Amino acid sequence: MSHENVEQVRAFFEEGFCQNCMRTLQSTHSEAHISHLPSGDHYGPEGVRIDIAGYLEAFPDLRIVIDDIHDAGDSVAYRFSATGTHLGAFLGITPTSRPVRIVGLGIDRIENGKFIERWIQFDSFGLLQQLGVLGAE
């Protein structure tokens, strides 16, 4: 069990999202990194930076909390919850000023101390419902 990998995942979410500190991405993410997200695949540290910037533009007060985390050797699996207010464009949806709360799962693979791959899945349908785009809330 690699405590370092778990702490690296925690630090990524705390620094990258909660503190909006993206200057470390080059040192923490491999150039070969690939993120598999509901919105599609994104590549390298620059792809991660673009992902974070997009979420923070849409939800400037975004807060992600790791609710549960498990080390699986070179991979770390986690369950998270996120809250924020929709104050910027998101997936072509104009700002609604609505608060949102979503839950999701992620798996990060780390090699030689760098993130190499990330899988994220979250309640996209629930998010769109909260934004008033799909069905009743």
Residue 118 sits at φ, ψ, to 5 deg, of -135, 130
pTM of the model: 0.88
pLDDT at residue 31 is higher than 60 = yes
| Type of residue found at 69 | I
Q: At a CB cut-off of 8 Å and minimum separation 6, what does 59 contact? A: 84, 85, 86, 87, 88, 90, 100
Mean pLDDT on 57-67: 95
CA-CA distance, 131 to 77, in Å (whole number)? Answer: 28
Mean pLDDT across 57-83: 95
Average pLDDT over residues 85-113: 96
pLDDT of residue 14: 85
State percent of the chain over pLDDT 90: 72
Give CA torsion, residues 8, 41, 62, 98, to 10 deg.
Answer: -160
- CA-based max dimension of the chain: 46
